[in-house]
Amino acid sequence: GAGVSQTPSNKVTEKGKYVELRCDPISGHTALYWYRQSLGQGPEFLIYFQGTGAADDSGLPNDRFFAVRPEGSVSTLKIQRTERGDSAVYLCASSPTPGQGIGDTQYFGPGTRLTVL
Amino acid sequence: AQSVAQPEDQVNVAEGNPLTVKCTYSVSGNPYLFWYVQYPNRGLQFLLKYITGDNLVKGSYGFEAEFNKSQTSFHLKKPSALVSDSALYFCAVRDMGTGGFKTIFGAGTRLFVKA
């Protein structure tokens, strides 16, 4: 696995439904980030994991959003009771342990385009 | 709170001419600064970063950026633009003064290079 992978690439759901978005980081990367990118805007930080723990979840917009990384590798972003305003591209990135120069470079996946009807 | 501004929505330049994409930032401590590029239907790709040391940073595809602490700027430059450089460019900052790892991105600047 050369890069960060995200599944599904596209997800269409109805308002009020629950969705899960998956991120598979680069092997060996301890840091994992989730971002949300709306049309015409830059990525908006949601949450950062170092290993299994969420070290910074200050970007999660409300309690409908939750993310896990139980084994320190794959992460799942979960959105409950989806709203039309949640429609966006959800990006995942990984990096080696941050704060060590090389570790500060984030490698991004292709994203999951979520559409809430 | 940390922030990033990319004052130009779009930059147009002729192939072979130098290009500059502007970025200014605001942090409470020392900044880590990054440039990423996004091509159509492709993910964000890392171009270059400033962590410490030389203010002039060289990166991928002939791009470079200069960290200017007094002007709180980190403008992206290339001496001779190529049509293939046409893409969306994002500046990003991490505020090391907060001790956190939150990275804030600018809104992006679309670069058009005309043949």
- Could you say which of B51, B90, B101 has the minimum Cβ distance to residue A42? B90
pLDDT at A102: 61
Q: Which of A45, A50, A94, A113 to mutate to test the interface with B (most CBs of B within 10 A)?
A: A45
> Do B16 and B85 contact (CB within 8 A), yes or no?
no
Tell me which residues of chain B have a C-beta less than 8 Å from any C-beta of chain A.
4, 32, 34, 36, 42-46, 49, 51, 90, 92, 94, 100-108
Q: Quick one: average pLDDT of B77-87?
A: 96
Candidates B45, B46, B105; nearest CB to A43: B105
CA of A92 to nearest chain B CA: how many angstroms apart? 10
- Residue showing tokens 């962590």: B51
pLDDT in the model for residue A104: 79
- The H-or-E segment that residue B45 falls in is strand B44-50
Q: What is the mean pLDDT of each run of 10 residues along chain A (117 residues)?
A: 90 97 94 94 93 90 96 96 97 83 82 97
Whose structure tokens read 């910074």? A56
The mean pLDDT value for B65-79 works out to 96
**Interchain pair B102, A50: CB under 8 A:** no
pLDDT of residue A101: 60
Give pLDDT tens digits for B29-55.
Answer: 888 999 999 988 788 999 999 988 899
Report the C-alpha gap between A91 and A44 in whole angstroms: 9
**What average pLDDT does the structure give for chain B?**
93
Q: Count CA within 13 A, CB hemisphere, residue A91.
A: 23
Beta bridge partners of A81: none
Who wins on pLDDT, B15 or B101?
A: B15
Q: Residue B41 has what pLDDT?
A: 77
Long-range own/partner contacts, residues A35-40 (CB < 8 A, 24 or more apart): A35/A90, A35/A91, A35/A92, A35/A93, A35/B105, A36/A88, A36/A89, A36/A90, A36/A91, A37/A88, A37/A89, A37/A90, A37/A91, A37/A111, A38/A88, A38/A89, A39/A88, A40/B107, A40/B108
pLDDT value at B64 more than 90: yes
* Per-residue model confidence (pLDDT) at position A1: 53
- The shortest C-alpha distance from A14 to chain B (Å) reads 25
